[in-house]
Amino acid sequence: MNRYPAWLNALVVVIFIVGILVALPNVYGTSPAVQLAGRDGNFFAEDRVVRVEQVLESAGIAPEATYLKNGRVVVRFDSSTDQEAAVALFRERFDSDSNVALTNAPKLPVWVRNLGLNPMSLGLDLRGGVYVLLEVDMETAVTSRLGAYEQEFASALSDASIRHQIRVDGTQINVRLRSIEDTQRARDIIREADADILILDGVVDASSLRVRMSEAQIKARHDFAINQNITTLRNRVDQLGVAEPLVQRQGLNRIVVQLPGVQDPNALAGIITATATLEFRMVDTTGEMPGSRRYEGADGVESQLLQRDVIASGDQIIDASSGSSEGRPAVFITLDAVGGERMLKNTIANLGKPMSSVYIDTKRVAIDLPDGTTSFRQIRTERIINTATINGVFKDQFVTTGLTTVEARDLAILLRAGALAAPVFKVEDRTIGPTMGQENIDKGFKAIQIGFLAVVVFMAIYYRGFGLIANLALFTNLIFIVALLSLLTASLTLPGIAGIVLTVGMAVDANVLIFERIREELASGATVQNSIHSGYEKAFSSIADANVTTLIAAIVLFAFGTGAVKGFAVTLSLGIMTSMFTAIIGTRAIVNLVFGGRRLEKLPI
């Protein structure tokens, strides 16, 4: 007789129930919602939910549901009209400490939400939004690090009373000294500052040095630039109030940004790719400070000769907000501990002297060459936006002016989100409208329905009762795929739907092999029970070989593919694993239950 042990039957039932439960959130749909997230990544507590409900009640707006999710307040509404009214209200009441974003939230019952279950997310090609591909300027990442080394080494040599000339030249730092003795001392000082940097003899004479970053340091700098830029870009889109953005690395020097629900890429492109930052420098009033140079002023601001040393820069700013000071647009700045200490020492030492705020931006422009190709050139703009006399001692909090209202707002966003470690340039952007997304969803699910029904009809006619068992397994397989996508928080894309359609066809292949093997055993004169046993046992190796080779191909696609290819590979891989379970273990459990304990002369196959 063909029977599973009781524990295995129980396991199959438990897995089936869990699969249905995890997939259940996908049947409820979504409704318009507003999300409130704390600035700087701060998590809200339940008291913020109470405040939000009170604000809505005072305005006469009735939400469908209000709850806390991952430290963020989510408010669901019955209509987009209430959603838009709530957004305006929240931005007025909570703008000081919250990022307010439009989104869609699943209409889950409280008990499902309390279990921590969520529906699978839809990719950008299904829900609509903006796709931006950015390229990180790795050369500038290294050059900026060399500039930091230059200032660090110059300060250390000055502290050791070693007269020197130091400057960055391409990919190296040239250090000129007065004597061979100073050269050896300088070598020791630079080595103490950074033990991994390469120190070479100078080309001109024995009293000079060449300093270069090692290959390991350059690679580490590239990785730092990518990772820092990803963090900064995530902060920026959070500041802009975009719910559920995706920012991730692609290849060696590119970053993909996906912004669900956003329909105007130009509205965000300036903030995403902006490299604007600030530097604070003292004015060289004597004209005799080494390394000083003249900076042009913005409209209405005079040019000034500024000292080489930077007192504080954008990467030392931990908070910034826009507002007005003395009737002019202003940016209120807070420095970190290091920047605050440098600013404190500078203001103590330079009371009554002028200090300038330098606004820095980097852009890339395309140049059409005579041979028909296009070259790109970077343009770095540095302009003084404000020069003020230091009339008192201050540390980590101060105000800078000299910008328009829009510039002040955008600069505050950039500074608050953090500085980019290297400039980024837009390579590609695409906008997918929500209508197109819904059309893709409808066509994708229609393809699944047609494929599923075609297979169901064929199996029911050709294999009769066993065909119905295979159809039940096929339906269960779809449930398991949806459940895994929901559990793994993977996004379903249009190519992913194609992967599911392919899985529907492949999932029934295993049962076809098994059923044909059972038919062969019956035709050869074997008993019903021996035919069932032999059918499953002898077909297993063929099924395993076919599915394992396909799984290897799917893994390779995921490892080396990008975007759409990955989406296809994910659903294909999940479908292969679930179909192996449903087609072999699932159908065997049902066949054993229905036919395994009976003495039969024939089978409905």
Pairwise CA distance, residues 346 & 344, whole Å: 5
Residue 20 has pLDDT above 90, yes or no: yes
Q: Looking at residue 434, what is its pLDDT?
A: 61
Pairwise CA distance, residues 422 & 416, whole Å: 17
Shortest CA distance to 105 belongs to which of 82, 123, 78, 125? 78
335, 319 Cβ separation under 8 angstroms: no
Pairwise CA distance, residues 66 & 181, whole Å: 72
Residue 267 has pLDDT above 60, yes or no: no
Q: Looking at residue 348, what is its pLDDT?
A: 92
Q: For residue 436, what pLDDT band results from cuts at 50, 70 and 90?
A: low
DSSP string, 13-26: HHHHHHHHHHHGGG
Long-range contacts of 402-407 (CB under 8 A, 24+ apart): 402/298, 402/301, 402/328, 402/357, 402/359, 403/329, 403/330, 403/331, 403/359, 404/329, 405/322, 405/329, 407/329
Q: Looking at residue 480, what is its pLDDT?
A: 92
Question: Alpha carbon of 116 to those of 25, 113, 210, 237, 244: distances in Å?
Answer: 10, 5, 58, 26, 17
Pairwise CA distance, residues 446 & 439, whole Å: 10
Instruction: Average the pLDDT over 269-287 and give the result.
Output: 80
Residue 249 has pLDDT above 90, yes or no: no
Largest CA distance in the chain: 110
CATH 3.30.1360.200 residue window(s) in the chain: 274-430
Pick the CATH number of 138-218 from 1.10.287, 3.90.180, 1.20.58, 3.30.1360: 3.30.1360
Most confident of 473-487, 501-515, 562-576: 473-487
Residue 160 has pLDDT above 90, yes or no: no
Q: Looking at residue 40, what is its pLDDT?
A: 60
Backbone φ and ψ for 207, nearest 5 degrees, come out as: -100, 35
Q: Looking at residue 282, what is its pLDDT?
A: 92
For domain 30-107, the CATH superfamily is ACT domain (3.30.70.260)
Q: Looking at residue 390, what is its pLDDT?
A: 86
Shortest CA distance to 411 belongs to which of 563, 304, 274? 274
Q: Looking at residue 14, what is its pLDDT?
A: 93
Instruction: Average the pLDDT over 81-87 and give the result.
Output: 87
Pairwise CA distance, residues 162 & 127, whole Å: 63
Q: For residue 591, what pLDDT band results from cuts at 50, 70 and 90?
A: confident
CATH 3.30.70.260 residue window(s) in the chain: 30-107
88, 55 Cβ separation under 8 angstroms: no
Residue 330 has pLDDT above 80, yes or no: yes
Q: Looking at residue 540, what is its pLDDT?
A: 85
Long-range contacts of 325-330 (CB under 8 A, 24+ apart): 325/399, 325/401, 326/401, 328/401, 328/402, 329/401, 329/403, 329/404, 329/405, 329/407, 329/408, 330/399, 330/400, 330/401, 330/403, 330/408
Lowest mean pLDDT among 27-41, 208-222, 233-247, 528-542: 233-247
Question: Alpha carbon of 474 to those of 8, 448, 451, 548, 592: distances in Å?
Answer: 20, 12, 11, 19, 18
Residue 335 has pLDDT above 60, yes or no: yes
pLDDT digits (tens, 9 = 90+) for 107-126: 888 888 888 888 888 777 77
Q: Looking at residue 431, what is its pLDDT?
A: 75
Residue 360 has pLDDT above 70, yes or no: yes
74, 98 Cβ separation under 8 angstroms: no
Lowest mean pLDDT among 296-310, 368-382, 465-479, 493-507: 368-382
137, 423 Cβ separation under 8 angstroms: yes
**β-pair partners for 105:** 31
Residue 56 has pLDDT above 80, yes or no: yes
311, 342 Cβ separation under 8 angstroms: yes
DSSP state at residue 178: S
402, 374 Cβ separation under 8 angstroms: no
Q: Tokens in use for 250?
A: 């692609």
By CB atoms closer than 10 A (0-12, 13-18, 19+), residue 254 is: middle
CATH code, residues 274-430: 3.30.1360.200
Q: Looking at residue 261, what is its pLDDT?
A: 65
Cα 319 versus chain centre, distance: 22
Pairwise CA distance, residues 80 & 456, whole Å: 40
Block residue for tokens 């307010």: 100
Q: At 448, is the secondary structure helix, strand, or coil?
A: helix
Residue 423 has pLDDT above 60, yes or no: yes
Q: Tokens in use for 26?
A: 């996908």
CB-side neighbour CA atoms (13 Å) of 158: 10
Q: Tokens in use for 72?
A: 């963020």
pLDDT digits (tens, 9 = 90+) for 281-321: 999 988 888 888 999 988 778 899 999 888 888 778 877 88
Pairwise CA distance, residues 158 & 167, whole Å: 14
Identify the sign of the CA torsion 382, 385, 389, 394: negative
Residue 236 has pLDDT above 80, yes or no: no
Pairwise CA distance, residues 231 & 224, whole Å: 10
Pairwise CA distance, residues 172 & 213, whole Å: 8
Residue 262 has pLDDT above 60, yes or no: yes
**β-pair partners for 166:** 175
Pairwise CA distance, residues 159 & 63, whole Å: 64
Report the phi/psi class of residue 241: left, alpha or beta, with left for phi > 0 and alpha for psi in -120 to 50: left
Pairwise CA distance, residues 183 & 209, whole Å: 7
Instruction: Average the pLDDT over 248-275 and give the result.
Output: 74
- Mean per-residue pLDDT of the chain: 83
Cα 221 versus chain centre, distance: 20
Residues 6+ apart with CB under 8 A from 536: 514, 517, 584, 588
Q: Looking at residue 560, what is its pLDDT?
A: 79
Residues 6+ apart with CB under 8 A from 212: 171, 172, 173, 197, 198, 200
Identify the sign of the CA torsion 213, 217, 222, 226: negative
CATH code, residues 6-24+433-596: 1.20.1640.10
By CB atoms closer than 10 A (0-12, 13-18, 19+), residue 204 is: exposed
By CB atoms closer than 10 A (0-12, 13-18, 19+), residue 409 is: middle
